[in-house]
Structure 1
Amino acid sequence: MKSEIQDLRNDYAALQGEVGGLREEVRELRQDNDELRAVNSKTEERLSEMERKADDLENRSKRNNLIIYGLERNEGETSEDCEGILQDLITDKLEMAGDVVFDRVHRLNSKADSPLITRCASYKDKLQILRAKRKLHGSQISIGEDFSRRVREIRRNLVPRLKQARDEQKKATLTFDHLYIEGKKFTFDLQKNTVIEMR
């Protein structure tokens, strides 16, 4: 009996040593995990900041761009043809002087109903075209600005709120990635998937 009790005591002491070792390993793993979480958090912050900067740069590079929807494609159409079509639209439909200069005009893709995209040589010309686009009301042609994917997604989610506000006879405008309703400023939080009011 004494021998068995001693063996049990020895086994228990060995187990206690193993448990102590496991506890130390768990403590170290927890510490490593906390350090990894901190590194991960910093990495996510950096990535988020880099994405924000890349998005900002993309939108700045598209600052003078316009997209024109509803202009029919001609067979064998070239970039020069596209510029002629756009110049005709500006002089005939928008009733603007034909001295607007474009750096480049082309279709966005090869589809038959592909919109034209252009880069205005002057930001002032772009604004003038945007002001004149109301003359296209009631036609199949529309003109919009070119934005990054993030901004397009935000705008797409703000449009229903814009329409609702206008249906309620409220003054509402959508500018870049912000919606203004009666002096209040809103945006769409893509992570929370909700419209938020900005202060």
Structure 2
Amino acid sequence: MSKPQKTKAITPATQAQILEAAWALIAAEGRPDAGLAEIAARASVSRQTVFYAFGNRAGVLTAMARHQDTRTDHVARIQAAVFGPEPSAASVVAAVEAWVDYLPVIYPVGILLDAASLTDEAAAEAWRDRMVEALLGGFKVLLGRVHARSPLGGDPGRIAEEIWAEVHPTMWRRLVVECGWTPAAFRARCLRVVRGLVGA
């Protein structure tokens, strides 16, 4: 893993400008491998500004993905389901509903980061941060809380992993992009599978 780099205070507005430029560059041109200079040019700032704000390319990509999560209410809905006062099977369904609604938004960039993560450590770091640590980790926390209140029909960690696999961007690619499913059909399938796994 790359060593952390020193950062310098950059205004929130400039940070957002850089992160949104990075997202647009990847989404529009399919360039998860874009370097700091290309991102800086897209954001109309200097490469040094990008470096001071985020340290390195992995820092930019990770911050970019986190920033995207703040631009809609989907992640807040997932967190409300995960950390709500009365975790239940319905909470799991609510979390999955929020994620599946969000999936079309992040798919164009997410699927490129997923593919690039096989050979690109910076992309892998950003992808792990959001998909593994945040999403899968959140599902595991939620399923653990549900299981503690009302035991599920299997290991909660394994059930969380099954749910995560069902709603992964690669599944969207297979069914919606490659097989021509509608987003509504994909959503219905995911919720049907999840309800079966948690007994909702």
TM surpasses 0.5:
no
Q: TM-score scaled by structure 2?
A: 0.30
Structure with more strand by fraction: 1
TM-score normalised by the chain length of structure 1: 0.30
Larger radius of gyration: 1
